[in-house]
Structure 1
C-alpha cells in the first residue's frame, strides 16, 4: 500500500452497468400505466428481470432499482414505479441513498436524480456528474458522494465536483469494464471513505490523504466491486474477474484486519469468482453473493476449526431456473428483519433457509394479509 497525500486526476473511458452472466427469466409484456411505467396489475410479472439496487428509506418504504423500468417502491400495500415520465433521469437505477433532509437519491446510467417526495431534480454531465453506473453514499457528515464510470464525485452547492483518486503503479492494468470506474463507495466506523475501483483496487480517504490497496497487498483482484465492515471492525472486500484486455480468472473475497489480508480459497465460490455484493445484517452476519454459487452467510465471530469465520451457503430458490446460476446484485434488510435480494432474474425474499421469488403480486411477507376489498 502507498500513501498519497495529494490527489491526482483519473482518466476513464465509457462504461456499462454490470449484468451477471447468468441471465434471469423475466415475465415479458408487462402492462403499463398511462404514464408509461409498469403497473402492478400483472401479479405474476417479475419486479424486473434484473433488480440491481435495494434500499429502505426512513419511512419504511422499500425501493428496488431495475435495469430499465426505473425504480419500484413498495410501501407495504402498493407497488409503484417511477421512471422517465415521472422525472427520473434514466430508467436503469444502479444506486439508492437518502440524505439528511429525507430526499431520496437515485443513481442511474445517466447521472443521479433527487426525489423530494413530490418531484425529481436531476444531475447529469451538465451538473458535474458524467458517467454510467452511478452509485451513491451519504456519509456521517451528510455529504453526498457518487461513483460512476468516470470516477468519484462530491456534491456541493447543487453541483457535483470531481474527486480525483490516484492511479496505482501496476505492471499491467486488467479490468472488468473501465479502468477507474468506481464500483462501490463505503464509509467505515472511523469515518474513512473507501472507493472500490475497476482495475485500480481500493482507495481509502481519511479526510487528509489517500491510501491505495491492490492485489499486491492482498486483494483477490484489482477490480473491487463491494466493501463492507463487520462488527469486529474488519473490512470485507469483494472483487471480480478481469475481462480486459484479456480474461483473468481472479476475484473473490478478502478480509482486512487493518494489518493483514486473508483470502478464503477453501470456500467454494469465494476465490476466482465474481463477488459483486457484500452486506452486513442487523445480527452482525455478513452476507456474500457469489455468482453461480449462491449466498453465504458469514459469522465473523465464530471460528470454523481454527481457520477463521464460519460460512453457511444458501443456494435454494423456488425458481429452479436460477438455482444453478445465481447472480445476486443487491441486498437490503428491512426494519422487520426480512432480507431482500435482488437477483439476475427478479426480486427474492429470504425465508430463513431459501429464497422466495416475489413478483408484483407478492408474496411480500411470509403470511400475506387477507384481501379486505
Structure 2
C-alpha cells in the first residue's frame, strides 16, 4: 500500500492551458532544502502555528520565527504524518503510518491497533459538529470517544468497475455537510453519505467520473464537490493506464463533470479545499491548481502535484506538494518555501 501511495504522489509537469484565466508566476529557490519530499498535510492551529506533515520527516512546525521538526525521536509513532487536527481542548492529533498521536504541547499519547484502532495506516482525522471523532484508515473507519475505539463498517455498494484489493478499504475523505450528513470518500466504492441511520451511495452509475474518490467538500451553496482519481493508473501495464477521473459537483439532484477544464477531467483530483472566504481550491496533477470563485476557475501554475491546501490567517495559500512546500501570496505569486523560507 505504501508503494501505491508513493505512486499516487508522482511529480508531474504542469501543462499550459488557454481555456482558463491564468494567474501568478513560480519562483523556486533551489539552494535550500525542501521542507519534505512529500508535504501531504498543511494546518494552522489556534495559536497561529503552521504545521506541515511529511511522508518521511515527521511533522514540521513554523511558529512565526523558527522551523522545527517533531519526529519519532520526540514521541511520534511514525515519521509519516498524514493528518493534523486540533480538538476543542487545544490538543493536536496526528495521523501517522503507525497509528494516531495526541499531543498536549508537552507529551504524546499514542494509539495503535493494539489499543483497538482499526488500522495503523491513517488517512483522515475528523471531528464533526457533535464532537464525534472519526478516524479514516486504509482498513476502514472507526470512531474514538477518548477511551475506546469502535469500528464503523460501511456497506459495499454494487459496482461494475474492478476493485484494487490493496485499496478497497482505504477511506480517502471524511467530512460533514451543513445538514449533518457524514460523507466518506472511498477508493473503489465512490462516495457514501450517512444521515445517522442509513447510507446513500454515489458511484459512476450516478455520474461520477470514477469510483476512486479522493476528496469531498461542500461549498457555500450546499453543493458537494467530489474529486476522483484514474483507477487505471494502478494497472501494471503502462499502456493501459488511461481512464476517467477528475472533478464532479453534486447539487442534490445531478452530478456534473468538467470536461472543458484542463487537468480536471480524465485526470486525478486529490484535494479540494474550502478556505475561510468560502472559495474552493482544487488540485490537478497536470495543470497546477485552480481557485474556484464567482463561478470561474482561476488557474495558478505549480510545478508539481498538490496534496493539501491551507489559507492562513494572513491570507496566504499554502500548498503541500509532491516535491516540497509552496505558497501563493496575496499578489498571486507562487513561491517555493524551503527550510530557509521565505516565510513572509
Task: Give me the TM-score of the superposition, normalised by structure 1.
Answer: 0.81
Q: 1:268 to 1:279 in 2, by over 3 A?
A: same
Q: Provide the C-alpha distance between the structure 1 equivalents of 2:62 and 2:182, rounded to a whole number of angstroms.
A: 30
Closer, same or farther: CA 176–44 of 1 in aligned 2, 3 Å: farther
Counterpart for residue 202 of structure 1: 191
What secondary structure does 2:101 align onto? strand
**Contact map agreement 2:12 2:285 (CA 8 A) in 1:** no
Q: How does 1:1-373 map to 2 (within 5 A)?
A: 17-18=5-6, 19-22=8-11, 44-129=32-117, 130-175=119-164, 178-242=167-231, 243-244=233-234, 247-299=241-293, 302=294, 309-316=295-302, 323=303, 326-351=304-329, 352-365=331-344
- Identify if the C-alpha distance between structure 1 residues 244 and 168 changes in structure 2 by more than 3 Å, giving closer, same or farther: farther
Q: CA deviation at 1:133?
A: 3.8
Cα distance, 1:67–1:128 mapped onto 2, change above 3 Å = same
By how many angstroms is 1:330 displaced? Answer: 0.8
Specify whether residues 157 and 297 from structure 1 end up closer, same or farther in structure 2 by C-alpha distance, changes over 3 A only.
closer
C-alpha RMSD over aligned residues = 2.1
Distance 1:124 1:16, change over 3 A: farther
Deviation at 1:158, TM superposition (A): 2.1
Quote how far apart the aligned CAs of 1:341 are.
0.5
* Aligned mates of 1:287, 1:183 — CA distance in 2: 18
Please say if residues 14 and 149 of structure 1, whose CA atoms lie closer than 8 Å, have aligned partners that are also in contact: no
8 Å CA contact 1:52–1:343 kept in 2: the answer is yes
CA distance in 1, matches of 2:203, 2:273: 22
Q: Which runs of 5+ in 1 are unaligned?
A: 1-12, 25-42, 303-308, 317-322, 366-373
Given the two structures, how large is their TM-score scaled by the length of structure 2? 0.88
CA distance in 1 between counterparts of 2:155 and 2:255 reads 22
- Give how far 1:152 is off: 0.9
Partner of 2:25: none
Query: Post-superposition shift, 1:354?
Result: 3.1
Cα deviation code 1:257-286 (max 9, x no counterpart): 111111000111111101000011222211
CA contact (8 A) 2:289 2:299 kept: yes
